[in-house]
Each structure stands twice: as structure tokens, then as C-alpha cells.
Amino acid sequence: MGLFGLHYKLERKTMSLAIGIIIAASIGGLIEIVPLFTIHQTVEDSPDMRVYTPLEIAGRNIYIREGCYACHSQMIRTLRDEVERYGPYSLAVESKYDHPMLWGSKRTGPDIARLGGKYSDEWHVKHLTNPRDVVPESVMPPYAYLTRAKARIDDLGLHLAALRKVGVPYTDEMIANASNDAYGQTTPDTPFAEGVTKRYGEATNVRAFDGQPGEPTEMDALVAYLQILGKLTDAAHKAKTAAAGE
């Protein structure tokens, strides 16, 4: 047989076999991944999309550190029951600035792609401190120590600069003021707070998320992040309205 005869020769040559393996294994990835970067429709346009504030980035990093993504997805699928349970299905543009994405793969707890604004800050703090105080049957771990830990905000400028290098449009001003803005977002009615709304928009949540004004805690940062989930752009809600109007 021709092909088997060919293989009989190939398996005697180390380098040819190695190159054959590389070629065979490269094709799938090249065809499926490269076009995602080049085809424009892959990610929707959304001019109102805003970037995360430094405090929200700090909160997102705590979310990653604690492995929250292991039990909570941030990707509502285009299925009727999911849209009715969680809200409009997720669009690609909504995670455009997510390095890395946190779509998740398991729902031991519910999807939280549209968690922002759904519960009060107070609820979140109670729930994170001991989930069973507000949801008696919950199996989520307690995160009481987040209230005790001061958030590290002195190096947030470096974080924003690194994010800019991978494509997030942070301005020089945002990077230079990152630490102050993180402080300002938890201390309303101060000059620091004005800087946050000036740079990130009037709609930005500026308040003491954990109920204690002053130096932001890790609880502040995490709640600030949870309260912005699904709120960076209106695109998903607009797409829903447009579809309903047809």
C-alpha cells in the first residue's frame, strides 16, 4: 500500500517525523484562531465601552487570585433559559478589555456576567464575609479576610501600563494617577474622587464599597469590580432592544 509504504520510510527518519508532527498539529489552530484577529465582525463595535478603573483592576486581580472563575462563569449563552435567568446574552465586545478573559467553564455558583447593580454593596460585603448569612444553603467559601486586608494600590500605575502594552487604551494621565484614582474611588466628596469621574466618566461608582471610607481594602476593590460586571457597555441591552423591535 502506497501510504503505508511511505510511512514505513518516514518512521525511520527522526527529523522528518518531527516536522510532520508539527505541520499536522499546526493547521487546526492556524485556521481557527488567526481569522479571529483579522475578521472585523468577530468583536462588535461599541463606542460607549469604557475601560476598568484602577480599583476595579485591583478587584479583578483579587477575583483571579481567589480563583472565583472556577465556580462562576461570565458568559451567558444564547439559550432562552440563560437569558431569562441571567439577562441578555454576552457579546464578544463586553470582554474586549479582559486580559485574560474570565468566561469560566463551570457554574457551581451562578453566572455573574450581569451581576453589576443587582445587589447592594452591603449585600456583597455580607455575602463575601460569610455567604451563609444571606444565602443559608450556599456552598461558597467565606472571604472575611478581604475586609481586614488593605488593597495594594501603590503599583497600579505599572498594572495599567502593562495593560496598555497588550492593547487596552489607558491614557498617560490614567496611568500617572492610577494609585490616586484607586484611593479616590472609595472616598467620595474629595478632590481624589473628582479625578476618577473626570477620567472614567460620570457613571463610575464612587463610594465606600465596604462601608468604611478611607484607605481601600481588598473588599472595596472586589465589590467595586463585581458592581461593574456587565456595565462597561450597553451593547448587550441595545442588541436585545433592536432584536425585539424587528
Partner 1 sequence: MIAQLTKSERQLALIILLAFTICGLAMAIAGRQDPLGVHGAIVMLAGIAGIFGVIYVYYEPEPDEGRLALYYDDPTKVAIILAMIWAVIGMFIGDWVAWQLVFPNLTFDAGWSSFGRIRPAHTSAVIFGFGGNGLIGTSLYVLQRTSRARLPDQISPWFVLLGYNLFCLLAATGYFMGVTQSKEYAEPEWYADLLLEIVWIVYFVIYMRTLARRKEPHIYVANWYYMAFILVVAILHTVNNLAMPVSFGHAKSYSAFSGVQDAMTQWWYGHNAVAFFLTSGFLGMMYYYLPVRAGRPIYSYRMSIISFWGITFMYMWVGSHHLHYTALPQWVQTLGMTFSLMLLIPSWGSAGNALLTLNGAWHKVRDDATLRFMMVAAVFYGLTTFEGSFMAIRSVNSLSHYTDWTVGHVHAGALGWVAMITFGSIYASVPWLWKRERMYSPALVEWHFWLAVAGLFTYVFAMWNSGIIQGLMWRTYNSSGTLSYSFIETVIAMKPYYVARAVGGFFFFAGAVIGLYNIVMTIRTAGQPADERAADRPVAQPTGVPALQPGE
Q: What DSSP designation does 114 have?
A: T
Cβ contact 232:49 at 8 Å: yes
Which region, judged by CB under 8 A, interacts with partner 1, from 80-88, 115-123, 171-179, 196-204? 80-88
| Secondary structure of residue 217 in the 3-state scheme | strand
**Site residues for partner 1, window 172-231 (CB under 8 A)?**
none
Q: Which 3-state string (H, E, C) describes 167-213?
A: CCCCCHHHHHCHHHHHHHHCCCCCHHHHHHHHHHCCCCCCCCCCCCC
Asked if 150 touches partner 1 (CB under 8 A), the answer is no
Determine the size of the site formed for partner 1 (CB under 8 A): 88
Interface with partner 1 includes 106 (CB under 8 A)?
yes
- 97 counts as binding partner 1 under rule CB under 8 A: yes
User: Are the beta carbons of 56 and 116 closer than 8 angstroms?
Assistant: no
The answer to whether residue 29 forms part of the interface with partner 1 (CB under 8 A) is yes
C-alpha cell of residue 87? 439577562
Give the interface segment with partner 1, choosing from 23-31, 114-122, 173-181, 224-232 (CB under 8 A): 23-31
The cell for 175 is 496611568
Nearest to partner 1 of 124, 193 (CB atom)? 124
Which of 117, 133, 162, 203 binds partner 1 (CB under 8 A)? It is 162
Q: In the set 117, 120, 122, 158, which binds partner 1 (CB under 8 A)? A: 158
Distances (CA, A) of 87 to 37, 117, 177, 230: 28, 13, 35, 10
> What is the nearest approach in angstroms of partner 1 to the Cβ of residue 134?
11
Binding flag, residue 120, partner 1 (CB under 8 A): no
